Amino acid sequence: MNIDIFKHLKSIKNTLECEKEESLKAADDLRSKCLEALQLIDELRFRDNSPHIQLATRHAIQYLQKALAEIDAFTASYNSASQGSLGNFKDICAPAHAGLEIILNLNY
């Protein structure tokens, strides 16, 4: 049911750990939440054919894919010696939050 999908997406958004210590484990946690959100959005897209839902899901997917690309960049530039990366979590979380907000705004 769509209500369950929206509840789950809201839960994902509320549990994104963007203020967490920037580490590979934290990046992996963010990746798994983005992938879970993408799966739920795909489910929603296939359940509802309305143009409004289709457009919103397309935009949300683009933002979440951007977040995944930022996670890949963060992971690739992570230096285990300095325990840091050239990227930061704000570059990851901003598109992830935006993608989730687009979808959650449909649940009015």
- pLDDT confidence of residue 70: 92
Q: What percent of the chain has pLDDT over 70?
A: 87
Within 10 A of 70 (CB to CB), how many other CB atoms are there?
Answer: 23
The 3-state DSSP class for residue 79 equals strand
Q: Quick one: what percent of the chain has pLDDT higher than 90?
A: 48
Domain boundaries, the chain: 2-13+22-104
Q: Which of 71, 9, 84 is nearest to 42 (CA)?
A: 9
pLDDT at 23: 81
Length of the chain: 108
Q: Decide which of 20 and 44 is more confident.
A: 44
**pLDDT tens digits, one per residue of 38-72:** 999 999 888 877 888 889 999 999 999 999 999 99
Closest CA to 16 of 33, 41, 4, 38: 33
What tens digit of pLDDT does each residue of 93-105 get?
899 999 999 999 9
Q: Looking at this protein, which amino acid is placed at residue 99?
A: G
pLDDT of amino acid 18: 77
On average, the pLDDT of the chain sits at: 86
pLDDT of residue 91: 82
